[in-house]
Amino acid sequence: MTVRDDGPGMPEAGGTGEGGLGLSNVRARLARRYGEEHELRLSNHPQGGLEVTLTIPFETDGFPGERAERREAAERASLPLATGDGA
């Protein structure tokens, strides 16, 4: 998803490029939710304004960690359980 406004954009120099507290929180939440499978990019558009692009994985059944956990649980469920009695 890309959103663009027609404001002044970001300052060209002098900043760290990381943004303030709000952007820091958004980045942290995205990292927790999607890990390396996301991108949040802010840039000045050549024709003026700020352009923000957010890329996240398309999913219909939960977030990435949930899929792996469900798959592993399903694999474990199909294995015979050890009873501890030598059988």
Amino acid in the structure at residue 3: V
The answer to whether residue 28 is domain-embedded is: yes
* Domain total in the chain: 1
What share of the chain has pLDDT > 90, as a percent? 40
Q: Cα separation of 86 and 64, whole Å?
A: 38
pLDDT at position 76: 72
Q: How many CA atoms lie within 13 A of 6 on its CB side?
A: 0
Which pLDDT band, with edges at 50, 70 and 90, does 55 fall under? very high
- Is-contact 49 4, C-beta < 8 A? yes
The answer to whether residue 25 is domain-embedded is: yes
The answer to whether residue 66 is domain-embedded is: no
The answer to whether residue 79 is domain-embedded is: no
The answer to whether residue 17 is domain-embedded is: yes
The answer to whether residue 11 is domain-embedded is: yes
pLDDT at position 83: 46
Q: Cα separation of 87 and 82, whole Å?
A: 8
Mind listing the pLDDT tens digit for each residue in 7-25? 999 887 655 556 788 999 9
pTM above 0.95, yes or no: no
Q: Which domain holds residue 21?
A: 2-58
- Among 19, 7, 16, 1, which Cα is nearest to 50's? 7
Mean pLDDT of 38-54: 93
